[in-house]
Homo-oligomer: A and B are copies of this chain.
Amino acid sequence: MQTDTKTALLDSAEAAVRARGFDGFSYADLSADVGIRKASIHHHFPTKAALAHALMMRYCEVLAEACTDINAAHATGGARLSAIIALYREASASGQQLCLCLSFATSPDRLPDGVKTLIVGFRQSVLDWLGSVFALGRSDGSIIGVIDDQAEAAAAMAVLEGAQLACRVEEDITRFDIAIRQLSARARPAQG
């Protein structure tokens, strides 16, 4: 039973973008990785733009699901914050790659038209969700010192992405941990 080819292509492309950027891989690379001829890729994704779009669409869905899962699994704001930190930490793959959105966001001018809109939407989703997490953490006391939910959310997202960058060059996950330490510390451990 082989994996669905379309999914395999998306997986390979996503890994490539997250490791080397949108301009850092080609259909030839994809072809070699997935084991399908270059021309055949065009059957699934007519253009590289279409591929990027599909990539981002899928990423948006995965994010939405992840947030829902975290909400279901954790009741307090602090626990949810810890969970999203763990997610970003895992997503960095020990500093070998970045969040897809981050990778795309660095050079929006090079991106196909529709993708930019998706990125904006993605970022706003993360921001909104983080805002709700801080609001909850403020009201249930599980995150220390919250005043402005929106500013907290924006700062948290910046730190999460910045921490991924910090560990990228040296492929050293401890760089992530140090950068995120202060944010982590503000999430109270298990509900007292």
Contact = CB atoms under 8 A, between A and B. Distances in A.
Interface of A: 19-21, 23-24, 98, 102-103, 105-110, 116, 119-120, 123, 148, 150-152, 154-155, 157-163, 165-166, 168-170, 175, 178-183
Given A23-B21, A24-B107, A109-B20, A154 B179 contact: yes
- Count of chain copies: 2
A169 B23 contact: no
A76 to B, nearest CB: 21
Most chain B CB within 10 A, of A110, A150, A182, is at: A182
A23 to B, nearest CB: 4
A78 B179 CA distance: 20
Q: Which 6 A-B pairs have the closest CB atoms?
A: A158-B162, A23-B23, A162-B162, A154-B179, A158-B179, A21-B107
A68 to B, nearest CB: 24
Given A105-B168, A106-B168, 4 more contacts: A103-B107, A116-B169, A154-B163, A158-B179
Contacts of A21: 21, 23, 106-107, 110
